[in-house]
């Protein structure tokens, strides 16, 4: 629809929840907000006739990211893996599965929890993939700083 000043109104895209995105995607920002941001940018690009290919590319990338995020949320974790991600102990998670508070994606004696169903302990950050690549301790870091040459 064209306004009086000649600009074209852009119809907003559906929200992630309306498109059937997993429920864990809504409360978080960051990477979970990227598909919607890219689709909004694609809609803005479509107002420029020459940018249709770029808009199509952004839509495709947003779809691919959303598919990967959905698959990541469907991943089934054993209790130790789940404990490392959510901040609760494996024993507490086993109790939650036994009580029915958290759905069991595995078998009775081998419980598994979907990543998207994990309860998050308040104040606990999700695991940082970059932190896993860092090797060292505080003492080692301090020694390397103390014994380094200026300009290193």
Kindly write down the DSSP assignment for every residue of 47-110, as one continuous string.
Answer: TSGGGHHHHHHHHHHHHHHHHHHHHHHH-EEEHHHHHHHHSS-HHHHHHHHHHTSS---S-SSS
Averaged pLDDT score across all residues of the chain: 74
Kindly tell me if the per-residue pLDDT of 18 is higher than 50.
no
Residue 7 — φ and ψ, nearest 5°? -80, 160
Distance set, CA 47 to CA 38, 40, 64, 70 (Å): 15, 11, 23, 30
For position 130, what pLDDT does the model report? 47
Domain boundaries, the chain: 23-74, 76-130
For position 22, what pLDDT does the model report? 44
Contacts of 16 (CB under 8 A, 6+ apart): 25, 26, 32, 35, 36, 66
Query: How much of the chain exceeds pLDDT 90, in percent?
Result: 20
What Rg value do the Cα atoms of the chain yield, rounded?
Answer: 23
pTM: 0.50
Q: Rounded to a whole number, what is the distance in angstroms from the first to the last CA of the chain? A: 60
More confident residue, 136 or 92: 92
pLDDT in tens, 76-102: 999 999 999 888 999 999 999 999 999
Query: How much of the chain exceeds pLDDT 70, in percent?
Result: 64
- Give the mean model confidence (pLDDT) for residues 125-135: 52
Collapsing DSSP states into helix, strand and coil, what is residue 89? coil
Element (H, E) at 43: helix 34-45
Kindly tell me if the per-residue pLDDT of 127 is higher than 80.
no
């Amino acid at each position: 629809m064209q306004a009086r000043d000649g600009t074209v109104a852009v119809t907003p895209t559906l929200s992630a929840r309306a498109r059937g995105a997993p429920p864990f995607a809504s409360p978080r920002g960051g990477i979970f907000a990227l598909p919607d941001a890219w689709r909004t940018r694609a809609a803005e690009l479509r107002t420029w006739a020459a940018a249709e290919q770029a808009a199509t590319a952004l839509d495709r990338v947003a779809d691919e990211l959303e598919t990967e995020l959905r698959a990541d949320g469907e991943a089934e974790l054993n209790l130790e893996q789940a404990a490392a991600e959510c901040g609760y102990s494996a024993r507490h998670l086993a109790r939650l599965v036994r009580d029915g508070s958290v759905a069991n994606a595995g078998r009775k004696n081998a419980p598994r929890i979907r990543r998207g169903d994990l309860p998050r302990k308040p104040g606990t950050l999700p695991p940082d993939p970059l932190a896993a690549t860092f090797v060292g301790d505080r003492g080692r870091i301090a020694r390397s700083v103390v014994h380094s040459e200026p300009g290193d």
